[in-house]
Structure 1
Amino acid sequence: MIASTPVARWTWGRDDDSADALVRCLRDLLAAYSVLAAHRLVIGEPKVLLTVAESGTSNSHLFRGELAAAGTQGLGEADRLAREVATGLRPGEIGAVDASADCAGMLVGETEEVPQAGLFRLGASAFAGFAGTELVTFSDAWMLYDLKGRPQPALHVANAPRLSAALRELSEVLGSETDPEDSTYFGKPTETGVDNFFDDDGTASDVWTGFEIPYRNRVFHHTPGFAAGYRRSADGEVQYVPVHGEHGVLGYRAGLLWLERLSSAHEDGLAPSRALAELAGLSAEERPGTLHLTSLRELASGN
C-alpha cells in the first residue's frame, strides 16, 4: 500500500568541506541513488529537482530546475551536472543547495517483481560545511503488517531485507550512521526498517482507516468520501476507458461525476468491469483497454 504522506524517514549527516556545496549535494544524492538502484529499490535514471539558494537571503534563488542524470555511478556524473548548473547560475554567492528525486522502484511479490511508482523520495542538501541526506518511503512493503493491520509475511520476507541492506550500505557510502527519524502516522522507523503500531490488545493498528482515509477526504474535499466502494489501487493490469468531451479527454470536474457514478454502481452490486463498460456506453463487442497501473498513471499525466 502507498500512503499519501511518509510511512518512514531516515537521515544521514556529516561535516564535510571537501568540495563546494553544489558538488557535495549532487555527489551524495547520486551515490545514495546508486545504492538503492543496486537493490532495485529505485529504477530508471533519476530526475533531480535542484534548488540553489542565494547566501544571506531567505527567498532568493540562484538556480531552480530539473536535471536529468545520465547515470549514477562514480563522481563523474555529479560533477558534470554541477558544471551544467554553474553555467546557468544567477550572479551571487551560493548558500544552501537542496536536491531531491521522487523514485519508482520494484517490489518483490509472491511470483514476480512489480514496478511501483512513488516508492521513495530521496533528498540531499549541503550548506556551510555540512552535508545531509534523507530517504523517505511511502510504502508498507517493509512491514510485517500492512497499513490496514493485515499480516503480509510473504511481502515482508521478500522486501524487508532489501531495505535493511540498503540502509546499511547507505551508512557506509555516506560516511554517517543511519538516523531513524520520529515515528509517522503509519510506522516507526528503525535502523534496519519500519515497525508497525499495535493496539492495546496486541493486534496491528489499522492506521490506513485512522489516518490515510481522513487525509484523503481533507485533500479531496469536493469528491465523494473514500468510503466502501471499488478499490482505488490494484496489482497488475487495470481496465481503463478514456472519457472524451467536445475538447478532448475530460479532467477534474468530470472526474467528480464519474466518482459519483461509480459509487452508485458499487451500491447496485455491479462488478468493476461491468460498471466500467456500462458507464462508458460500450457495446458488447467493445472491451475496455488494459494497462499496468503505473503505465496508466503516466498516460494520465501526459508523460
Structure 2
Amino acid sequence: MYTTPGGRMAGERPTAYWTWQLELPTGDVVRSSVDAVLTVVFLLGREHLAVAVPHMTVRAGTVSAEFAVHGSSLAENAARIAEELQNAGGDSSDRGVSILTDCVGTWVDADGESHREPLLTRVRAEAQDGRLSIAVAAFGDAFLPWDLSGAPQPAVYQRNAPRLAAALAAITVALRSPIHPGDETALALPTAGGAVNRLNADGEVLDLTVPLARLTSNTPLFVPTHPSDDQMVFELLGSPEGPVPVAFTSLDILIERLGTAQPWAAVRAERFITLMDRLGAPPVRLDPPVVPDARRWMADDVLAYEEEFSRG
C-alpha cells in the first residue's frame, strides 16, 4: 500500500491509464520501441510527471534486463540499450519486446508546494508483429476533481490536472497516434484529457476509503473461487496491470458484479489479505468494477466442472 497525493491509502494500482497504438518502422524493433518509450517519458518529464527514471526493464525474446537512462539524448540511450540487449542475446524477431518504466514525479498541493512521489507515472510498452502498444498510467488522486474520500479539491485539481492533460496531448502529437482512454479502474474513469472520479448510481462521487476503513481482522470478505474437488482455489480477475486478487464487502455486490453462478467463499479479511501477501500477489482490490462484457460463470459451466470431478 502507499499514500496517495490526497493522503488516502489506495494501493499500488493506477488511478487511470491511456494507450496509443502505432506502426513500428522497419529495422531494429528494440531500438524503435525504446526510443518511443523514452519519448513518452521525456514528455511526461516536461510536466514534472517523470522527474526521474529509476530503471527501465526491457525484454526481447527470452532475454530480460534492467537499464539506467544516462544523459539527455533519447537516440543515444535507445541505441545503447538496444546494443546491450542484443549483445546479451536478446532477439525480438518472433517473441516481441516488452518495456516497463516506473517514474518518480511531483504533484502540487493546494498551497502550491511540490511533493515528490516515488511512483507517480508508469510507462509500459508491448511490441509484436510490427505494432507497438504504449500505455501510460497515473497514480494518486491529485489529478481528480475530488479526492478518494469524495471531498472536492479544486485547488489541487487546478494545479495538477492541466499538467497531465498537456502531457497526454504532447504524447499524442509525438507518437502521431490517437489517444485511447483506458477502462474504468477501481479509482477513476479515464478521459481523453485526464480522468474523473467514479460515481454511484445516483451520480454522487464515491467515497473509496470507506471499504478500507471498515475492515477489521474478522470482517468477512466474499471472494470469487474456482470449482475444485479437493481445495479452495481463489480466482484472480483481469486488470490493466495483470491478474489481481479481488474481494467483495457483501455477497450482493459480488453477485451484482460477477453474476449469480459465480462460485464464492466467505473468508476473514486478515486471513485472505495475509495469504495474498505471502503469495506475492498484488494488493487486494475491494468491490472492483467489472466491465459489462467480461466473461462470467454460467450455471452450465459449474455443472460441467462438477460432473468432471465426479468422474475423476
TM band (smaller chain): 0.5 to 0.7
Question: 1:169 aligns to what?
Answer: 170
2:77 corresponds in structure 1 to: 77
Identity of aligned residues (%): 28
Are the counterparts in 1 of residues 53 and 102 from structure 2 also a CA contact under 8 Å?
Answer: no
* CA drift at 1:90: 5.5
TM-score (structure 2 length as normaliser): 0.63
Does 2:270 match 1:221? no
Query: Could you list the runs of 4 or more consecutive aligned residues of structure 1 that deviate by over 6 angstroms after TM superposition?
Result: 211-216
Per-residue deviation at 1:205? 0.6
Q: In the TM superposition, what is the alpha-carbon distance from 1:125 to its structure 2 partner?
A: 2.2
Instruction: Tell me if the contact between 1:45 and 1:71 (Cα under 8 Å) persists in the aligned partners.
Output: no
Q: Pick closer, same or farther for the CA change 1:210–1:21 going to 2, 3 Å.
A: farther
Q: Could you tell me how far apart the structure 2 residues matched to 1:121 and 1:191 are?
A: 17
Correspondence list, 1:156-235, <5 A: 156-210=157-211, 221-222=273-274
**AA of the residue aligned to 1:161:** P
1:46, CA displacement in angstroms? 4.5
Structure 2 residue aligned with 1:293: none
Q: 1:219 to 1:79 in 2, by over 3 A?
A: farther
- The offset of 1:93, in angstroms, is 4.6
Paired amino acid for 1:102: D
Q: How many Å separate the matches in 2 of 1:13 and 1:163?
A: 19
Q: 2: distance between equivalents of 1:202 and 1:29?
A: 37
CA contact (8 A) 2:20 2:135 kept: yes
Cα separation, 1, equivalents of 2:73 and 2:18 = 22
Distance 1:158 1:121 in 2: 20
2-side partners of 1:44 and 1:120: how far apart? 10
Shift of 1:137: 1.5
Match of 1:13 in 2: 21
Structure 1 spans left out of the alignment, 5+ residues: 54-60, 224-251, 253-303
Could you tell me which runs of 5 or more consecutive residues in structure 2 were left unpaired when the two chains were aligned.
5-9, 216-220, 222-245, 248-268, 279-312
How does 1:289-300 map onto structure 2 within 5 Å?
none
Structure 1's 220 and 163: CA in aligned 2 closer, same or farther, altered over 3 A?
A: farther
Separation (CA, whole Å) in 2 of partners of 1:196 and 1:17: 38
Matched residues in 2 for 1:140 and 1:168: separation?
20
Q: Tell me, yes or no, if the aligned pair for 2:57 and 2:99 is still in contact at 8 Å.
A: yes
Give distance in 2, aligned partners of 1:7 and 1:92: 31
- Supply the distance in 1 between the matched residues of 2:180 and 2:88 (Cα, whole angstroms): 35
Query: Measured at CA, do residues 194 and 77 of structure 1 come closer, stay the same or move farther in structure 2, by a change above 3 Å?
Result: same
1:44 to 31, 49, 52: 52
SS in structure 2 at match of 1:134: strand
What is the aligned partner in structure 1 of residue 133 from structure 2?
A: 132
> 1:158-198 CA deviation, whole Å, 9 max, x = no partner?
00000000000000111111100111111100000001122
Q: CA deviation at 1:201?
A: 4.2
Supply the distance in 1 between the matched residues of 2:156 and 2:146 (Cα, whole angstroms).
Answer: 9
Tell me the distance in 1 between the aligned counterparts of 2:42 and 2:92: 32
Determine if contact 1:33/1:72 at 8 Å carries over to the other structure: no
Contact 1:52 1:96 in 2 (8 A): yes
TM-score between both structures, scaled by the size of structure 1: 0.65
Per the alignment, in what secondary structure is the counterpart of residue 207 of structure 1? coil
